[in-house]
């Protein structure tokens, strides 16, 4: 299964991705995590993106596409993955289409977590307060001004992907304002429907080829 989780910062992509990993044995490919790891390790890529990320802006498409393209080729991702935080721009989505097409793969679904912006701000403020209370280190980009930039980047650069994937017929909108368990259940329904539809399509094409050969 090859899935994309799409939604603004704080929509719950990471939480749902972890549940999908546990349930379906898929790997979670989070570009945010990969880029943060590069920053932490002080690699050339990390040095290039550190300031961009701290401002809440988007890293260059070519850089992010390169990272994802390599990661998708690793053995643990061959049978399926959940992309979390990628693609974030139309050029990234087009590059992903090319990468998958070259391997003869398709996207199974783009799960769009729909949330309202005021709720997002509250969620992220809560997340920051919880982390502070636990004495955990905050992310450089978890503060009000940077959050504003992250939401702006989402609206301007990432939201157009909703139309892009709707047009391709793979968009599956889900109400991200429901409880975590309800969102998980809604995603499960989408994936169950999808595999039933795939099974039906396979049976149809088998029947057709049998008819042709008899
Ligand atoms: P969020 O919780 O805001 O969704 P992520 O952890 O997905 O954040 O990403 C953090 C930062 O990493 C982004 O603000 C951006 O600077 C960078 N980043 C992550 N994924 C991408 C991407 N696909 N394209 C460009 N920049 C990215």
pLDDT above 80 (res 117): yes
86 CA to centre of ligand 1 in angstroms: 8
Q: Tell which atom from ligand 1 comes closest to the C-alpha of 13.
A: 4
Instruction: Identify the residue whose C-alpha is closest to ligand 1 atom 18.
Output: 32
Pocket flag, ligand 1, residue 7 (CB < 6 Å): no
Instruction: Examine residue 193 and state whether it is found in any structural domain, yes or no.
Output: yes
pLDDT above 90 (res 15): yes
Burial of 188 (0-12, 13-18, 19+ CB in 10 A): middle
Q: What is the pLDDT of residue 76?
A: 93
Instruction: Identify the residue whose C-alpha is closest to ligand 1 atom 4.
Output: 9
Instruction: Examine residue 44 and state whether it is found in any structural domain, yes or no.
Output: no
Structurally, how many domains does the chain consist of?
Answer: 1
Contact assessment for residue 194 and residue 107, using Cβ atoms and an 8 Å cutoff? no
pLDDT above 80 (res 165): yes
**CATH value at residue 200:** 3.40.50.300
What's the chain's average pLDDT? Answer: 92
Which residues, at least 6 apart from 13, have a Cβ–Cβ distance to it below 8 Å? 5, 6, 7, 84, 85, 113
Instruction: Examine residue 136 and state whether it is found in any structural domain, yes or no.
Output: no
53 CA to centre of ligand 1 in angstroms: 7
- What does pTM read for this prediction? 0.89
> Percentage of the chain surpassing pLDDT 90?
72
Q: What is the pLDDT of residue 60?
A: 98
Which residues, at least 6 apart from 90, have a Cβ–Cβ distance to it below 8 Å? 160, 161, 164
Q: What is the pLDDT of residue 138?
A: 78
Closest CA to 107 of 190, 181, 14: 190
Instruction: Examine residue 13 and state whether it is found in any structural domain, yes or no.
Output: yes
pLDDT above 80 (res 140): no
Instruction: Examine residue 148 and state whether it is found in any structural domain, yes or no.
Output: no
181-213, pLDDT tens digit by residue?
A: 999 999 999 999 888 888 888 888 888 888 888
Instruction: Examine residue 96 and state whether it is found in any structural domain, yes or no.
Output: yes
**C-alpha torsion angle, residues 203, 205, 206, 209 (rounded to 10):** 160
Instruction: Examine residue 89 and state whether it is found in any structural domain, yes or no.
Output: yes
Place of tokens 């959940």: 82
Q: Per-residue pLDDT averaged across 173-184, rounded?
A: 95
Contact assessment for residue 87 and residue 161, using Cβ atoms and an 8 Å cutoff? yes
Q: Tell which atom from ligand 1 comes closest to the C-alpha of 88.
A: 23
Catalytic residue among 88, 122, 123, 155: 88
95 CA to centre of ligand 1 in angstroms: 17
Q: Grade residue 112 by pLDDT with cuts at 50, 70 and 90.
A: very high
Angle 30-59-13 (CA atoms, 0-180°, nearest 5)?
A: 30
24 CA to centre of ligand 1 in angstroms: 24
Residue 82 to residue 109: CA distance in whole angstroms: 10
**Structural domain boundaries, residue 203:** 2-26+79-115+170-213
Instruction: Examine residue 57 and state whether it is found in any structural domain, yes or no.
Output: no
């Amino acid at each position: 299964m090859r899935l994309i989780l799409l939604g603004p910062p704080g929509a719950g992509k990471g939480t749902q991705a972890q549940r999908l990993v546990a349930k379906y044995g898929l790997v979670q490919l989070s570009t945010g995590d990969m880029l943060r790891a590069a920053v932490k390790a002080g690699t050339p890529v990390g040095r290039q993106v550190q300031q961009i990320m701290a401002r809440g802006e988007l890293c260059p498409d070519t850089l992010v596409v390169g990272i994802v393209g390599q990661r998708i080729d690793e053995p643990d991702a061959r049978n399926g993955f959940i992309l979390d935080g990628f693609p974030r721009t139309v050029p990234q989505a087009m590059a992903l289409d090319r990468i998958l097409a070259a391997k003869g793969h398709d996207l199974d679904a783009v799960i769009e977590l729909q949330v309202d912006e005021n709720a997002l701000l509250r969620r992220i403020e809560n997340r920051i307060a919880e982390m502070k209370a636990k004495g955990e280190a905050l992310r450089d980009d978890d503060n009000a001004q940077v959050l504003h930039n992250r939401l702006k980047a989402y609206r301007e650069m990432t939201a157009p992907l909703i139309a892009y994937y709707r047009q391709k017929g793979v968009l599956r909108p889900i109400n991200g304002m429901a409880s975590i368990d309800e969102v998980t259940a809604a995603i499960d329904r989408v994936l169950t429907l999808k595999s039933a539809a795939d099974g039906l399509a396979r049976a149809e094409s088998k029947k057709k080829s049998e008819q042709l050969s008899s």
